[in-house]
Amino acid sequence: MFRATKLSTRFLANNYENILVSRAGAKNAVALIQLNRPKALNALCTPLMQDLSAALTEIENDDTIGCTVITGSERAFAAGADIKEMQPKTFSECVGGNFLADWTAVQNHRKPTIAAVNGFALGGGCELAMMCDIMYAGAKAKFGQPEILLGTIPGAGGTQRLTAAVGKSMSMEMCLTGDMKIGAQQALIAGLVSAVHPVEELVNEAVKTADRIAANSPLILRMCKEAVNKSQELSLTEGLNYERRLFHGTFATEDRKEGMTAFVEKRKAEFKNE
C-alpha cells in the first residue's frame, strides 16, 4: 500500500473528517487525497464533498503543489453518492438548495488531477473519477452508473462525461441498465481509463505520473489543461483557433523561453511559473 510523507501544517489548514490529505512524490509536489468513509465504502455525502472542495482550494493556493491524486481504498474508490442522505429530499429542496453544488470543485480545479480507482466506482463515484483529468484503474476496479435502479438518473455528469469518454452506445447501456460489471480492462479498451495497474501498485503509479506532471511549468500546465478541456465544448475549427491563441500566449511567458533555451543548451529546464 502507498505510504505518503507526513503533511506539513502550512499546507493543511483544516482537519478534515472525511478525507485524508498528504504530500507525495520525489519533491513533495504531489497532493494525495484519500476518500475516507470506509464503513460506507466512501459514499459521497455532502460533508465529504465539502471537505474535498476545501482541500482543493488549499491546493490551488499552494504554489509548491503541482498535481493532485484522488483515491479511495482498495475495496472502493467510491460506491456512489450517499443514498441515505438523498432519499428524503424533495424537488424543491434540491432546486432551492442547489443540491450537488459542492460537486464542482474537481471539475473547476485549475491544476491537473488524477483519479486512482480501486474497487467500486459507481454512480457518483464514477462521476467523480471522470471529473479528474486522468484516470488510472486497479485491475479489480468496477465501474457503473446504477442510478436508474433507484428511480433516478446520473446528476453529476454521468450521462455527459461518460458519453464523451466511451461513446453513445456503451454509455446508454450503462445508464439504462444500471449494470455494475464494467471492469478495468473493458474500461481501458473503451477509453474510460488510460492505464490499468495491479491493485497494490495503482496509487504509486498515479503518483509517479503526477510527479512528472508537477515537474512542468504550473502556468503552462493550466493553459494546456484548458485547451484540452475546450475540445469537449467547441467545434474542431473553434477548438483549433482556441488552441493556437493559447499556444501564441505561451510566448509571452518566461517559462516558455526557459524551456526552449534549456532544450537548445541541452540542460534541464528550471521553470518559475512566470
Domain identity same for 39 and 105: yes
pLDDT, position 98: 73
User: Is 33 within 8 Å of 19 (Cβ atoms)?
Assistant: yes
Do 209 and 227 belong to one domain? no
pLDDT of residue 83: 85
What CATH number corresponds to the domain at position 156? 3.90.226.10
Q: Is 127 part of the annotated catalytic residue set?
A: yes
C-alpha cell of 195? 492505464
* Residue of 31, 79, 81, 105 marked active site: 81
Type of residue found at 99? F
Distance of CA 190 to the CA centre of its chain: 18
**For 160-186, how does the pLDDT look when each residue is reduced to its tens digit (9 = 90+)?**
999 999 999 999 999 999 998 899 999
In a domain, 229, yes or no: yes
**Same domain membership, residue 209 and residue 152:** yes
Q: What is the pLDDT of residue 14?
A: 61
* Three-state secondary structure call for residue 49: helix
Q: Is residue 272 in some structural domain?
A: no
> Does residue 4 lie within any of the structural domains?
no
- Locate 84 and state its grid cell: 441515505
Residues 144 and 236 in one domain: no
Dist CA 20 CA 114 (whole Å)? 16
CB-CB contact of 193 with 185 (8 Å) = no
The answer on pLDDT for 225 being more than 90 is yes
Q: Is 81 a catalytic residue?
A: yes
pTM: 0.91
For the record, the C-alpha cell of 89 comes out as 429530499
209 and 232 share one domain: no
Host domain of residue 146: 19-214
**How many domains does the chain contain in total?**
2
Catalytic residue among 72, 124, 125, 259: 124
Domain termination residue (choose one: 214, 231, 249): 214
40, 116, 127, 158: the catalytic one is: 127
